[in-house]
Amino acid sequence: MRRLKYKIHHEGTNILISLAAILAVVNAPLWIWVRPLSWAIVSTAVCGVFYLLVVNFFRSPRREFPGDPVNTVVSAADGTVVALEETFEPEYLKCRCIQLSVFMSVLNVHANWFPVDGEVIFSRHHSGRFMAAYLPKSSTENERSTVVIRTPEGQDILMRQVAGAMARRIVTYARPGDEASIEDHMGFIKFGSRVDLYLPLGTETLVKIGDKTTGGVTEVAKLHPKAKTT
C-alpha cells in the first residue's frame, strides 16, 4: 500500500478537533434559524477556508534525505534564510560561531528536523518575550529552546527554536542521550517562528540570505572535518 506523502502532525490533532467543534457550533444556528441562507453559506465558507489554513499549518510531510549525511548540515525548518553571520554564542558553546537562521511564516511546515546526525548532549527551554521572530534580538530574548547535537566526528552543533509574535508554544522532543537523525523531527513550533543554527568557524555555508529551505532536505552547510566548536 502506498504511504501518504502528507499527514497531520500529532501536535495539531486536538487543536483541529476542538476547532472543528467550535466552528460547527457557530455555524449550525445560522443554517437552522437565520434567513436568508446566504448568511449561513458565507459564514460556513469563511470558516471552511480558515479551517483549511490551520490544517495546512499542521501538515507533516514524510521526507528522506537523499545525500550523504557525513559532515552535512541540513535545514532544520522550512522557510527563508534571514541571518548568516559570525557571532558569539554565549549559552553553551561560548565561542564565536557561524549563525544561520531560517524564518518560518504561518504558511510553512512548522515541524523541526535535526540538522545533523549524532547524539543530543544538551537541551534547555527558556521563557521569554514574543517579539517578531525575524528580529535579531529574538534569538536571546524570546521564548526559546536550545538543543546541542554532537556529531559522530565530535563537533557540537547548537540548534535554537525561537518563538515569534504569534507563537505561544515550543515543543522540543530532544533530550540528552537521544540519538539524532536528520530524517527525524526534533520538535514543533506553533504559529510563526524561526530556527537558529550555530556552526563551527570554518564551516562551508551553501545558502545565502533570502534562500528558501526545506527542512530535512536542503543542505545548508558542510562541516570542515577539522573544525571544532570548543
For 142, the grid coordinates are: 524570546
In angstroms, the CA 106 to CA 164 distance is 10
In angstroms, the CA 226 to CA 196 distance is 22
Q: Quick check: helix, strand or coil at residue 5?
A: coil
User: What residues does 205 pair with on adjacent strands?
Assistant: 221
Would you call the peptide bond into 36 cis, given omega within 30 degrees of 0 as the criterion? yes
Maximum CA pair distance of the chain? 73
Active site residue 75: no
Which amino acid, one-letter code, is at 226?
K
C-alpha separations of 196 from 1, 40, 75, 176 in Å: 38, 45, 10, 19
Closest CA to 99 of 221, 226, 228, 224: 221
Q: Which residues are catalytic?
A: 193
